[in-house]
């Protein structure tokens, strides 16, 4: 505790150390811990307003210290939060308050400050407070409210060389890091195989069963986290190279074979319960006599328990008849069991060491490859940010850096301290130590706020025990007169009924362990008259009276009588019944009808009940936000589109086509699909049958048209175009079809898939095959998409307790409350590092001890997750779950377990029982009774309409569900595009041989045009040498004599006075021009354009050999080209006469084109 003790004597029924009412006492605590001249540690119950306190302290840091005459630089305050969302929320709320204050009158601002801080400010302070908003906005980089990772990144960008990182480094996001680790893991496996450790992969895979499980298990751990193999060998007392068969043989040599022989001869009617053991003993003797090491395994089966442990003394003593035959059976069995158990421990130790060593080598090599790749590309992951920043802050050879930081940082505030892990504390400790060691005139402070009861992120490195240890360390470092430690107990969120059940659930010391070891947990509602209700529903059980033909039932489908299915349907029905009928009390005390957004369903994991609930809500037409976390490639809509992509690249892939036909995009039933697929001749594809049947089935005809259109678009424009065609096309659109079957929650996954398609096309060729391979690689990467629904969306939210941290809702359902605590860790903490968690049935004293400690820590966090889940509820909390097929009453079984082992359901049931007369049993016809604790409201409340729902339900225009008119792609027509430049023929009419023969003429035309473009601006003396150099550079393979003739041809025209105006500096060269002809866009380039005051002359060069002598002999395509130029120039220069001419270079002839000829050519072209 703090040196001046915990304040917070109010404990739910009265006051002990304080004469204040709960609200007044809470206000006093808030003002104490927000004092900017003192450091503070605040433990805040759920819903007690810690963000309000954090903001209040920041404001007081900026205002109170300014009263002393000092202007506080906002950039000297650093506030660290756990998530980006929390940082954004805090910053927004702070700016909202400061922005509002900047516009208040002196009197209103004084009242606002008095209400928040309990004192009336002076006039100069009002002026400074009013300027705070502008100062905060003008602070370079903005107010420093950020996550610890963002702080570490900014620190490293300031001092990259000192930190030993590459300047301008990039930070890997989760998906990029997962992909990098996956690649490096395979590189490490190949490298180990080349080094002679080919068996490592099989050893590791044997532990984790599947390849995907190996990658998943090793993704969150590094070699430095593991206990070194040498230390493990020393602790186990066994060499890693010991041979298992040698251990077995050595054990067999020390055993008494005679006892085993006598035991095996016991008759079955005498052995009774040990009959199986005598049979195993006979098998052991047979193998023993053949010197077969398997005799050891048979002996273990005969004389040890299934888990390899010694049997109970009662078992080894045998029955009376056995003792009559073998009087010393107990002693001899015990001696034999002890020897077998010791040998099994040695064998287990060998297996552990081999797996541990293989895992360590794999992790070490993976780390080496990963570091090399990150160094090569200038990348850092989140762990690198923290480790590099911690190293930078603790280095003693950069005293100047510590000095600079200490002058720039005066106040440190840390939110969600209970979720701060050891690695993050390695960054905070140097900052804390420097600030608390300061003795200057300007105060420097630290402020930590959190709640040990809400520490539920152990899988991310958080340690709940650190909360108290670091509080004590902060108290030790701080000055006695400048540190306070307080606790907030008043809840501004939940009703007293909910808080009473929360408190009672953790009243037993065993239930409270890991949450609050020293004192009972107590909460007080800030609004005592807020109505509340806690409902404990009966557990759903399987109805064993129902039967179903297993031949007709899908093997992986959840049957209607399954408990998860029954519970999901009951939850959907309850929600449907209450939305629009129940009252939701607002923050201002008014009420409105309950909406879908007021409902939150929480579970421990995303297991079967999680997905069944989403399915039941969708079937009941209840809008949901979908799963809060979902592997991208596990989303059913994404898998449907992946099938469409697979079929697009291989029309013989019948399975992918069948999946596409069954998807919401087409939606045919099983009967039709069977009729299409069954009875085909060999080599006949499903696609051919579908196209054949489309002639008589409108639905299949529409499907074929949709698929062909999407594939045509995809092959022409890439995977994004194909996906867009499926989603945007059709009536209704693909989006709407997915919504109707899968709900609105599919949008996030589909949008992520479209984003992937865009990213793929930016990095790779637009190949459908390549994109399919890219997505299939994503299957093994296990990339997770995170769906953070806004509270303003009128949807039911279904998520895990971890995802619900920081959220609240009117009604909260804990839907898998009877799921027990379960240790699922792949690694457990040992003395000196992490160990591989052994599977059930594998026993060793060292591992058993570490595993029991891990289970105890997991049970503590299990109960903390219950606390977090219960305290999300404002006015209604429902606890429910499912049970197995036991004949015993499942509710009684759950409630009978000791608190340390009880499930969520059991803990709440025990609490309801202890609350006794306050709990009533309610039941509906046909349903089992439920236990309810409720508190009614004594106030009459004004009803407010739900504006959000009214807005959402406003009239929706019909065009939203109507297929959009098909847009015709607009193509730009180039006047010269359809004309062969030299031969005067449409390219589309030239055969292959003619095109080959015409390549020389085409090249001649291109080179001559280049000379006409480049030579006119040059001095006459420079034209010949530079022209020759140009031709030699671009036509070096053309004979020199031919090049010389071409150059003379061009120079002859340039030196001809008749063409002087055409090639004068005033003439425009290669003039681009564009316009429209009806609904066609036309764009071209004119060789020469002469602008006169009343006339525009355009000239186009033609290099034909020989050229026509008369206008009547000019190719129609050439005339059409000139006619289009004529039309565009008339549009561009209205009021001027437009004249066109062809310059035939071969004969140096300028051929004017009469306007009548051009108009006639234009009419023919149209």
Percent of the chain with pLDDT over 90: 28
**CA–CA separation, 626 and 798 (whole Å):** 7
**CA–CA separation, 680 and 425 (whole Å):** 67
Q: Comparing 329 with 444, which gets the higher pLDDT?
A: 444
**CA–CA separation, 156 and 388 (whole Å):** 8
Provide mean pLDDT across the span 220-227.
77
Find the length of the chain.
1166
Q: Are 259 and 277 in contact (CB under 8 A)?
A: no
Provide mean pLDDT across the span 13-27.
64
Q: Are 61 and 411 in contact (CB under 8 A)?
A: yes
Residue carrying the six token digits 């402070």: 445
Question: Is residue 2 pLDDT above 60, yes or no?
Answer: no
Provide mean pLDDT across the span 410-419.
92
* CB under 8 A, 24+ apart: contacts of 1015-1022: 1015/1050, 1015/1051, 1015/1054, 1016/1054, 1016/1063, 1016/1069, 1017/1065, 1020/1055
Provide mean pLDDT across the span 254-278.
74
Taking each helix axis from N to C end, the angle separating 84-102 and 50-63, rounded to the nearest 10 degrees, works out to 50
Residues within the annotated binding site for ATP? 44-51
Provide mean pLDDT across the span 755-768.
85
Q: What is the pLDDT of residue 8?
A: 36
Q: How far is CA 554 from CA 499, 548, 607, in A?
A: 45, 11, 19
Q: CA 53, 59, 65: angle at the middle one, nearest 5?
A: 120
DSSP 943: B
Q: What is the pLDDT of residue 3?
A: 35
Residue carrying the six token digits 């969708």: 618
Q: Comparing 791 with 987, which gets the higher pLDDT?
A: 791
The pLDDT-based confidence of 7 (bands split at 50, 70, 90) is very low
Question: Is residue 980 pLDDT above 50, yes or no?
Answer: no
- pLDDT (tens digit, 9 = 90+) per residue, 55-114? 889 888 887 655 455 667 788 889 999 888 888 888 888 888 888 888 888 888 888 878
Burial class (CB in 10 A: 0-12, 13-18, 19+), 669: exposed
The pLDDT-based confidence of 210 (bands split at 50, 70, 90) is low
**CA–CA separation, 238 and 349 (whole Å):** 7
Please state, rounded to an integer, the average pLDDT across all residues of the chain: 82
- pLDDT (tens digit, 9 = 90+) per residue, 550-595? 555 555 556 667 899 999 999 999 999 999 888 887 777 788 899 9
Question: Is residue 809 pLDDT above 90, yes or no?
Answer: yes
Q: What is the pLDDT of residue 556?
A: 56
Structure tokens at 1135: 């009021």
Question: Is residue 1025 pLDDT above 60, yes or no?
Answer: yes
Q: What is the pLDDT of residue 494?
A: 93
The pLDDT-based confidence of 250 (bands split at 50, 70, 90) is confident
**CA–CA separation, 514 and 853 (whole Å):** 13
Q: What is the pLDDT of residue 995?
A: 34
Q: What is the pLDDT of residue 767?
A: 87
Q: Are 533 and 875 in contact (CB under 8 A)?
A: yes
Q: How far is CA 698 from CA 79, 664, 667, 911, in A?
A: 63, 17, 13, 62
Q: Comparing 300 with 711, which gets the higher pLDDT?
A: 711
Three-state secondary structure call for residue 1018: coil
The pTM (predicted TM-score) of the whole model is 0.74
48-52, 811-815, 955-959: the lowest-pLDDT one: 955-959
Q: Are 302 and 281 in contact (CB under 8 A)?
A: yes
Write the CB contacts of 790 (distance below 8 Å, at least 6 apart in sequence): none
**CA–CA separation, 913 and 505 (whole Å):** 10
Q: What is the pLDDT of residue 208?
A: 59
33-37, 210-214, 469-473, 1155-1159: the lowest-pLDDT one: 210-214
How are strands ordered across the β-sheet holding 796-800? Answer: 624-627, 796-800, 599-603, 809-814, 873-879, 532-536, 930-935, 919-922
Beta bridge partners of 814: 602, 879
Q: Are 778 and 932 in contact (CB under 8 A)?
A: no
Q: What is the pLDDT of residue 41?
A: 95
Dihedral of the alpha carbons of 514, 517, 522, 523, in degrees to the nearest 10:
-40
Q: What is the pLDDT of residue 43?
A: 93
173-177, 600-604, 673-677: the lowest-pLDDT one: 173-177
Q: What is the pLDDT of residue 730?
A: 79
Provide mean pLDDT across the span 1002-1016.
86
- 480-498 burial, b at 16+ Cβ within 10 Å, e below that, comes to eeebbbbbbbbbbbbbbbb
Provide mean pLDDT across the span 347-373.
87
Q: What is the pLDDT of residue 810?
A: 93
Residues within the annotated binding site? 44-51
- Domains in the chain, please, with CATH? 22-165+383-492 (3.40.50.300), 173-377 (no CATH), 532-624+793-935 (3.40.50.300), 630-786 (1.10.486.10), 973-1007+1052-1165 (no CATH)
Question: Is residue 201 pLDDT above 70, yes or no?
Answer: no
Q: What is the pLDDT of residue 105?
A: 82
Q: What is the pLDDT of residue 922?
A: 74
Burial class (CB in 10 A: 0-12, 13-18, 19+), 671: exposed
Provide mean pLDDT across the span 166-184.
85
Q: Comparing 290 with 364, which gets the higher pLDDT?
A: 364
Q: What is the pLDDT of residue 997?
A: 41
Question: Is residue 755 pLDDT above 70, yes or no?
Answer: yes
Provide mean pLDDT across the span 39-46.
93
DSSP 20: S
Question: Is residue 545 pLDDT above 70, yes or no?
Answer: no
Q: How far is CA 381 from CA 10, 149, 169, 177, 629, in A?
A: 46, 10, 10, 7, 21
Q: What is the pLDDT of residue 967?
A: 56
């Amino acid at each position: 505790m703090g040196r001046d003790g915990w304040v917070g004597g109010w404990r739910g029924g009265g006051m002990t150390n304080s004469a204040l009412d709960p609200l007044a006492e809470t206000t006093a605590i808030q003002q104490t811990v927000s004092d900017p001249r003192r450091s503070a540690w605040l433990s805040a119950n759920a819903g007690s307003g810690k963000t309000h306190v954090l903001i209040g302290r920041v404001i007081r840091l900026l205002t109170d210290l300014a009263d002393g005459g000092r202007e506080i630089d906002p950039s000297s305050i650093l506030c660290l939060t756990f998530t980006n969302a929390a940082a954004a929320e805090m910053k927004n709320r702070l700016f909202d308050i400061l922005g509002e204050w900047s516009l208040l009158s002196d009197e209103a601002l004084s009242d606002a400050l008095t209400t928040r801080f309990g004192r009336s400010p002076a006039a100069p302070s009002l002026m400074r407070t009013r300027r705070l908003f502008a100062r905060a906005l003008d602070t370079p980089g903005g107010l420093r409210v950020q996550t610890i990772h963002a702080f570490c990144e900014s620190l490293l960008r300031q001092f990259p060389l000192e930190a030993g990182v590459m300047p301008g480094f990039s930070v890997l996001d989760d998906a990029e890091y997962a992909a990098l680790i996956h690649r490096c893991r395979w590189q490490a496996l190949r490298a180990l195989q080349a080094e002679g450790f080919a068996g490592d992969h099989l050893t590791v895979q044997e532990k984790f069963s599947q390849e995907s499980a190996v990658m998943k298990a090793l993704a969150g751990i590094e070699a430095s986290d593991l206990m070194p193999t040498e230390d493990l060998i020393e602790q186990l007392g066994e060499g890693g190279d010991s041979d298992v068969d040698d251990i077995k043989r050595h054990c067999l040599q020390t055993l008494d074979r005679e006892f085993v022989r006598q035991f095996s001869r016991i008759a079955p009617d005498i052995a009774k319960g040990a009959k199986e053991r005598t049979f195993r003993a006979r098998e052991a003797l047979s193998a023993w006599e053949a010197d077969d090491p398997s005799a050891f395994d048979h002996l273990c089966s005969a004389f040890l328990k299934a888990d390899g442990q010694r049997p109970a003394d009662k078992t080894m003593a045998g029955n009376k008849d056995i003792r009559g035959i073998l009087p010393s059976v107990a002693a001899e069995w015990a001696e034999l069991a002890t020897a077998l158990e010791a040998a099994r421990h040695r064998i287990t130790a060998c297996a552990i060491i081999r797996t541990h060593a293989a895992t360590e080598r794999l992790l070490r090599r993976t780390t080496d490859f990963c570091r090399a790749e990150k160094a090569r590309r200038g990348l850092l992951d989140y762990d690198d940010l923290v480790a590099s920043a911690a190293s930078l802050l603790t280095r003693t050879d950069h005293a100047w850096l510590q000095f600079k930081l200490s002058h720039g940082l005066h106040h440190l505030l840390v939110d969600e301290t209970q979720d701060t892990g050891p690695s993050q504390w390695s960054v905070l400790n140097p900052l804390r130590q420097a600030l608390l060691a300061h003795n200057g005139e300007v105060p420097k402070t630290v402020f930590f706020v959190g709640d040990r009861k809400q520490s539920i992120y152990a899988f991310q490195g958080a340690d709940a025990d650190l909360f108290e240890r670091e509080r004590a360390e902060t108290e030790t470092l701080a000055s006695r007169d400048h540190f306070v430690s307080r606790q907030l107990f008043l809840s501004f969120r939940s009703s007293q009924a909910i808080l009473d059940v929360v408190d009672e659930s953790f009243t037993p010391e065993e239930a409270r362990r890991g949450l609050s070891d020293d004192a009972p947990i107590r909460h007080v509602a800030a609004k005592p008259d807020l109505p509340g209700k806690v409902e404990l529903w009966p557990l759903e059980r399987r109805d064993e009276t129902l039967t179903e033909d297993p031949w007709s039932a899908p093997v992986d489908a959840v049957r209607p009588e399954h408990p998860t299915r029954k519970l999901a349907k009951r939850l959907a029905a309850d929600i449907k019944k209450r939305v629009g009928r129940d009252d939701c009390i607002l923050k201002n005390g008014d009420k409105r009808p309950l909406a879908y957004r007021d409902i939150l369903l929480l579970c421990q994991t995303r297991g079967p009940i999680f997905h069944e609930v989403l399915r039941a809500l969708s079937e009941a037409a209840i809008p949901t936000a979908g799963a809060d976390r979902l592997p991208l490639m596990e989303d059913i809509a994404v898998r449907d589109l992946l099938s469409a992509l697979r079929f697009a690249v291989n029309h013989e892939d019948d399975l992918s086509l069948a999946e596409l036909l069954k998807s919401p995009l087409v939606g045919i039933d099983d009967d039709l699909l069977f009729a299409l697929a069954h009875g085909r001749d060999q080599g006949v594809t499903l696609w051919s049958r579908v196209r054949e049947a489309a002639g008589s089935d409108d639905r299949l005809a529409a499907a074929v048209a949709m698929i062909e259109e999407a594939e045509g678009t995809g092959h022409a424009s890439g995977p994004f175009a194909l996906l867009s065609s499926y989603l945007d096309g059709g009536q209704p659109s693909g989006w709407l079809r997915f919504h109707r079957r899968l709900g609105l929650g599919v949008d996030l996954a589909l949008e992520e898939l479209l984003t992937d398609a865009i990213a793929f096309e930016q990095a790779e060729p637009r190949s459908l095959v390549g994109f399919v391979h890219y997505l299939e690689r994503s299957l093994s990467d296990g990339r997770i998409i995170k769906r953070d629904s806004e509270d303003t969306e009128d949807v039911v939210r279904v998520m895990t307790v971890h995802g619900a941290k920081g959220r609240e809702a009117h009604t909260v359902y804990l839907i898998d409350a009877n799921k027990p605590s379960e240790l699922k860790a792949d690694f457990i903490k040992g003395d000196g590092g992490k160990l591989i968690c052994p599977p059930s049935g594998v026993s060793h004293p060292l591992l058993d001890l570490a595993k029991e400690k891990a289970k105890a820590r997991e049970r503590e966090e299990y109960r903390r997750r219950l606390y977090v889940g219960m305290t999300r509820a404002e006015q209604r909390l429902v606890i429910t779950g499912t049970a197995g097929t036991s004949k015993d009453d499942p509710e009684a079984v759950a409630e009978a377990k000791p608190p340390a082992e009880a499930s969520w359901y059991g803990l709440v049931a025990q609490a309801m029982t202890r609350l006794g007369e306050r709990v009533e049993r309610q039941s509906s016809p046909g349903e089992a009774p439920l236990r309810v604790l409720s508190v009614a409201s004594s106030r009459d409340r004004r009803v407010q309409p739900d504006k959000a729902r009214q807005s959402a339900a406003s009239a929706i225009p019909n065009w939203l569900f109507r297929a959009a008119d098909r847009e015709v792609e607009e193509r730009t027509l180039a006047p010269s595009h359809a004309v062969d430049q030299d031969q005067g023929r449409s390219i589309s009419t030239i055969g292959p041989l003619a095109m080959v023969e015409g390549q020389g003429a085409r090249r001649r035309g291109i080179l001559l045009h280049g000379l006409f473009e480049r030579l006119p601006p040059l001095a006459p003396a420079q034209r010949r040498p530079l022209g020759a150099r140009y031709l030699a550079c671009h036509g070096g393979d053309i004979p020199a004599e031919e090049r010389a003739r071409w150059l003379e041809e061009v120079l002859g025209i340039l030196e001809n006075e008749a063409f002087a105006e055409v090639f004068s500096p005033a003439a425009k060269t290669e003039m681009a021009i564009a316009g429209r002809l009806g609904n066609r866009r036309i764009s071209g380039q004119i060789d020469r354009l002469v602008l006169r005051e009343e006339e525009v002359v355009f000239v186009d060069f033609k290099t034909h050999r020989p050229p026509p002598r008369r206008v009547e002999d000019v190719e129609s395509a050439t005339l059409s080209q000139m006619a289009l130029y004529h039309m565009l120039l008339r549009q561009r220069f209205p009021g001027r006469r437009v004249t066109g001419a062809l310059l035939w270079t071969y004969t140096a002839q300028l051929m004017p084109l009469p306007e009548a000829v051009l108009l006639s050519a234009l009419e023919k072209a149209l």
